[in-house]
Amino acid sequence: MRDVYLIGIGQTKITKNAGIRGRYLAKQAIDEAIQHAGIDRKQIGMLVMGNMMSGMLTQQQQLGALTADVAGLRGIEAATVEAACGSGAAAARWGFMSVAGGFHDVALVCGSERMTHANLADTTAALATAADWELEGYKGESFISLNARLMKLYMEAYGVSAKDFGHFAIAAHDNGLNNPMGFLQKKIDMDCYLNSRMLVDPVKLLDAPPVCDGAAAVLLATEEVARAAHRKGLPMIKVAGSAIGTDSLALDARREILALDGVAISTRKALEQAGIKNEDVDIYELHDAYTIITTLSLEAAGFAEKGKGVHFGKEGEITPRGKLPISTMGGLKSRGHPVGATGVYQLAETYMQLTGTAGENQVPDPEFALVQNIGGTGASVVSHILQRCA
């Protein structure tokens, strides 16, 4: 395989009811990424789109060809990748493989999602298609109810209370205050968290991500292209590992309901590819869609012992200057979770961290970052290792 580098990023501000159609959100992010990379559009050989719900909420499929046309890239190889809420990182995985495998020297990855133009009931139903319809969906389960089930089981199994999850939401919102692209720029404290509206017991409003719209793009390229486009004063960013791990969609079909095996598998594979161990990771940009998923991800990825993930970070370990920073630009909880775009936002934000351009949220001198995007309640998990190079 050839080495792959991340050379350009683009992000739209995450919004609600902005009235901008999805194709133009994607074009904005793509134009910014191309300009940031400093390459010619003619160098791009492939466009991979990450999206989950366009066909259901806007009756529009074929986003690859559509976006390529709108973005001035008509004629190139283009397609859409769907892996529920992990669609953005899955698209990046496809782009990584196209460059690593020698099919293209430059691959453009874009994640986009519009969620707020539809009524909430339709959006909730569309999101629920990422669960197992035969075993969960037809019974009326939603992602809120499924995560509530996980959270309740965890509380019962390990004797913890709702308050024990609050520091994850508080830390994410603290970081989100300094993200100009973020959606919920609102500081919260424990009282605010505990008194937030109950959605499905025990999941409260501040345990869950907001419904929103957005698009992000990254450019992946060979070392030769990356060096030609390299900006003086900034390090090069290598994609040192890329992997997908899967599990059953239905919670009841899993080996252990409180174990995210997909997280464990993809983390292990990505770390092995990069030739590093957990202790080498300086940033864990995890998929904090719900505070229970943050908890279970920390355990499955090997950063916390089973049953103790909920307590990780209570002493400041997860802040930008802590032992293992997470949600460094607000995460899904504060930045927002436009589902098909989330994984690409994570990669763009981590690029900023590794190049020292993350502003007030800058993590001191990071070298390796684990970036993880989850589809469903853990059925599709995509992990990338980004490495700062000279």
Catalytic hit among 85, 104, 167, 384: 85
Q: What is the DSSP string of 367-382?
A: -EEEEEEEETTTTEEE
pLDDT at 357 over 80: yes
> What average pLDDT is seen over the chain?
96
Which residue(s) pair with 80 in the sheet?
Answer: 49
What is the rounded average pLDDT of the residues 325-344? 98
Report pLDDT digits (tens) over 101-159. 999 999 999 999 999 999 989 999 999 999 998 999 888 889 999 999 999 999 999 99
Residue 21: pLDDT band by 50, 70, 90 thresholds?
Answer: confident
Walk me through the domains of the chain, giving residue ranges and CATH numbers.
4-119+211-229 (3.40.47.10), 120-210+237-389 (3.40.47.10)
Predicted confidence band of residue 56 (pLDDT cuts 50, 70, 90) = very high
> pLDDT at position 235, please?
96
Going by pLDDT thresholds of 50, 70 and 90, the confidence category of residue 330 is very high
Rounded to an integer, the average pLDDT of 357-367 is 97
Question: Which stretch of DSSP H or E encloses residue 222?
Answer: strand 214-222
Helices (H), the chain: 22-37, 54-57, 63-70, 87-100, 120-127, 143-158, 166-176, 190-194, 223-229, 261-274, 291-300, 331-334, 339-354
User: Is the separation of the CB atoms in 107 and 48 below 8 Å?
Assistant: yes
| Phi, psi values for residue 186, rounded to 5° | -140, 125
Q: Which of 328, 363, 377 is nearest to 145 (CA)?
A: 377
Work out the average pLDDT over 280-299.
98
Per-residue confidence band for 390, with pLDDT thresholds at 50, 70 and 90? confident
Dist CA 75 CA 106 (whole Å): 15
* The pLDDT value given to residue 302: 98
pLDDT of residue 137: 84
Predicted local confidence at residue 163, as pLDDT = 97
Percent of the chain whose predicted confidence (pLDDT) is above 90: 94
Say what the pLDDT of residue 272 is: 98
Among 104, 167, 287, 337, the one annotated catalytic: 337
Q: Is the pLDDT of residue 160 over 90?
A: yes
Bridge partner list, 9: 218
Checking if the pLDDT of 375 tops 90, the result is: yes
What is the amino acid identity at position 203?
V
Asked if 85 is an active-site residue, the reply is yes
State mean pLDDT over 70-80: 97
Q: Which residues contact 223 (CB under 8 A, 6 or more apart)?
A: 2, 3, 5
Q: What is the pLDDT of residue 59?
A: 94
What is d(CA 2, CA 286) in angstroms, rounded to the nearest whole number?
26
Mean pLDDT value of segment 204-213: 96
Percent of the residues in the chain that have a pLDDT greater than 70, as a whole number: 100
CB neighbours (10 Å) of residue 229?
A: 19
* Mean pLDDT score, 335-356: 98
pLDDT at 18 over 80: no
Contact 136, 379 (CB under 8 A): no
- AA letter at 272: E
Q: What is the pLDDT of residue 333?
A: 97
Cβ neighbours for 382, distance < 8 A, ≥ 6 positions apart: 83, 86, 89, 90, 92, 93, 242, 243, 244, 266, 343, 372, 373, 374, 375
Q: What is the pTM of this model?
A: 0.98
